[in-house]
Amino acid sequence: MIVGGFDNLNSARACSPALCTVRQPVDEIGREAVKLLLDIISGKRETGTCLTLPSGLVLRRSCGCISVPFNGLKKGHGPNPECSIFEKQFERLIKNEQTAVIDFLENQAINFLKSDFNLNNLLSSIGRILNEHSHGIAPDLLNRIYHLLLILREEYFEIRQLKQQEEEDQLYNFIDDLRKLSEPDDLREYLNAKLIDLGFKHFFISRYKDNDIAELFYSSIPSQKKAVFLAKQLIPGGLKSLTPPFNLICLPLYETETDLGFFLSNPIESSPVVLETIRSSLCGTFQMIDMISKEREYGTSLEKKVNERTSELQHALHELSLMNEKLEKLS
C-alpha cells in the first residue's frame, strides 16, 4: 500500500490521480474519510473508484490497483494452512470422537496463542462448526466447549491488550528518538535500524526538488540511493516497478509547510493512524533539518561576507599605511 502524504503543490496536483491536501478536522468528516479509506483497503469498493468526501477532500484510487480482501473466514480457506487443518480435525472429532474434543481444543488454542494467530478467526470457525453439528453434540459437552471458548476469548483479549500496549510504547519510543535527529545522514541511519522493528519491510521517502522533479531522500532498498525522477511517477521507476498485487491509496493529510513524500507498506498489517503519526513526526524532523541547513547556509554566507569585509579592511589599512609613509617622506 502506498499512502500519499503530499502538500498542496503544483507537482502534487499534476499527478494522475491528483494528490491534494486539505485542512481535515478530526470529527464526523474525518471519521467518514477514514471509514472510506478502510473500505477501499478491505476490498469493499470496486477497483478504480473515486470518492469525493465532504469539504472538498478527495480520496482517489488508481485504476491499476488490485484489492486484497482479508476480512472473514470461509470454510477450508483460513488465513493459513494450520487453520484449515484445525477445522478438519475438529470437525472429525465432533462427528466421531467427542471425548477428545476438550483436550484437543485446549492444546490447539495454546499453540495458536503462542504463534500470535488471530484467535477471532479461529473462534468464528469453531462457532460455525458447532452450529452445523449442534444436534449431534451432548448438551454437557456443548456447555463445556462454550465455557472454554469464553475463557479463550478473555485470554486472547488480555494478550492483545498487552501486545497493543507494547506496540504503542515501541511507536512512542521511535517517535521520541526521531524528533531528536537533526542531520540527514543520522535520520537515514536511524530509519535503517528502527523501521524493521515497526514491521516495515519497504519504506520510501521522496521530496520535491521543484514542480517537476522529485528526489529519493530515503529507501530501505540498498541499491536505491538518492535517485532523481519525475515527480508524477511517485516512486523511482514508477508504479510499474512495484510487484502486484498492491493497493494504491492517495490519502489527503493535514496541510503542512513540508513536501514529504509517501510510504510503502503492507496493506493488511498497516494502520493509517500509525502511518499518519510517523508522517507527522517526520515532517517535524524535516523542518528541523531544513532549518539547521538554512542556518548553516546563512552562517557560511555570513562568514564569507565577514571574510570579504575583513580582506577589504586589510587592503584599506595597507593603502592607508602606504599613504602615511609617503606623507612622512614629503614632510
- pLDDT value, residue 123: 75
Residue 311 has, within 13 A of its CA and on its CB side, a CA count of 6
Q: Is the pLDDT of residue 294 over 80?
A: yes
Kindly list the distances between the CA atom of residue 283 and the CA atoms of 26, 230, 248, 289, in Å, as whole numbers in the listed order.
19, 22, 22, 10
pLDDT per residue as tens digits for the range 236-288: 777 677 665 554 544 433 344 444 444 444 444 556 567 667 877 887 888 88
- pLDDT value, residue 300: 92
Give me the mean pLDDT over the 70-95 stretch: 59
Average pLDDT over the chain, rounded to an integer = 70
- pLDDT value, residue 302: 93
Cβ proximity of 87 and 75 under 8 Å: yes
Q: Is residue 220 a part of any domain in this protein?
A: yes
Query: Is-above-0.95 flag for pTM?
Result: no
Q: Is the pLDDT of residue 25 over 50?
A: no
> In this structure, are 142 and 7 located in the same domain?
no
Query: What is 193-206 written as a DSSP string?
Result: HHGGGGT-S--EEE
Q: Is residue 307 a part of any domain in this protein?
A: no
pLDDT per residue as tens digits for the range 203-221: 878 777 776 787 888 888 7
Whose grid coordinates read 496463542?
113
- When divided into structural domains, the chain yields a total of 2
Residues making up the chain, counted from first to last: 331
Choosing from 248, 272, 296, the residue where a domain stops is 272
> In this structure, are 202 and 227 located in the same domain?
yes
Percentage of residues in the chain having pLDDT higher than 90: 9
Give me the mean pLDDT over the 221-240 stretch: 74
> In this structure, are 64 and 202 located in the same domain?
yes
Q: Is residue 26 a part of any domain in this protein?
A: yes
> Where is average pLDDT lowest: 52-56, 132-136, 151-155?
52-56
Q: Is residue 255 a part of any domain in this protein?
A: yes
Q: Which helix (H) or strand (E) holds 229?
A: strand 228-230
For residues 141 and 223, give the distance between their C-alpha atoms in angstroms, rounded to a whole number.
Answer: 60
- pLDDT value, residue 8: 41
> In this structure, are 47 and 116 located in the same domain?
no
Q: What are phi and psi of 28, to 5 degrees?
A: -60, -40
> In this structure, are 98 and 146 located in the same domain?
yes
Q: What are phi and psi of 171, to 5 degrees?
A: -65, -40
Cβ proximity of 11 and 209 under 8 Å: no
> In this structure, are 16 and 60 located in the same domain?
yes
Choosing from 132, 164, 196, the residue where a domain stops is 164
- pLDDT value, residue 133: 74
Percentage of residues in the chain having pLDDT higher than 70: 61
Q: Which residues span the domain enclosing 136?
A: 81-164
> In this structure, are 96 and 224 located in the same domain?
no
Give the strand pairing for 248-250 and 204-208. Answer: unpaired
3-class DSSP state for residue 247?
A: coil
Give me the mean pLDDT over the 12-21 stretch: 44
Q: Is residue 147 a part of any domain in this protein?
A: yes
Q: Would you state the torsion angle of the CA atoms of residues 20, 26, 32, 33, taken in this order, to the nearest 10 degrees?
A: 20
Choosing from 246, 272, 298, the residue where a domain stops is 272
> In this structure, are 85 and 52 located in the same domain?
no
> Where is average pLDDT lowest: 32-41, 127-136, 148-157?
32-41
| AA letter at 8 | N
> In this structure, are 124 and 200 located in the same domain?
no
Most confident of 45-49, 134-138, 208-212: 134-138
> Where is average pLDDT lowest: 72-86, 152-166, 306-320?
72-86
| AA letter at 145 | I
Q: Would you state the torsion angle of the CA atoms of residues 263, 246, 160, 190, taken in this order, to the nearest 10 degrees?
A: -30
pLDDT per residue as tens digits for the range 173-205: 999 999 889 899 999 999 999 988 887 777 878
Residue 51, C-alpha cell as written in the block: 470518492
Higher pLDDT, 125 or 10: 125
For residues 195 and 199, give the distance between their C-alpha atoms in angstroms, rounded to a whole number.
Answer: 7
- pLDDT value, residue 205: 81
Q: Is residue 212 a part of any domain in this protein?
A: yes
Q: Is residue 313 a part of any domain in this protein?
A: no
For residues 62 and 19, give the distance between their C-alpha atoms in angstroms, rounded to a whole number.
Answer: 11
Q: What residues contact residue 50 under an 8 Å CB cut-off, 6+ apart?
A: 17, 58, 59, 60, 61
> In this structure, are 6 and 134 located in the same domain?
no
- pLDDT-derived band at 70 (thresholds 50, 70, 90) equals very low
Higher pLDDT, 45 or 301: 301
> In this structure, are 64 and 85 located in the same domain?
no
- pLDDT value, residue 50: 55
Residue 181, C-alpha cell as written in the block: 535527529
> In this structure, are 188 and 58 located in the same domain?
yes
Kindly list the distances between the CA atom of residue 220 and the CA atoms of 60, 182, 217, 311, in Å, as whole numbers in the listed order.
26, 20, 11, 48
Give me the mean pLDDT over the 44-72 stretch: 43
Q: Which is nearest to 198 in space by CA: 220, 218, 181?
A: 220
Q: Is residue 142 a part of any domain in this protein?
A: yes
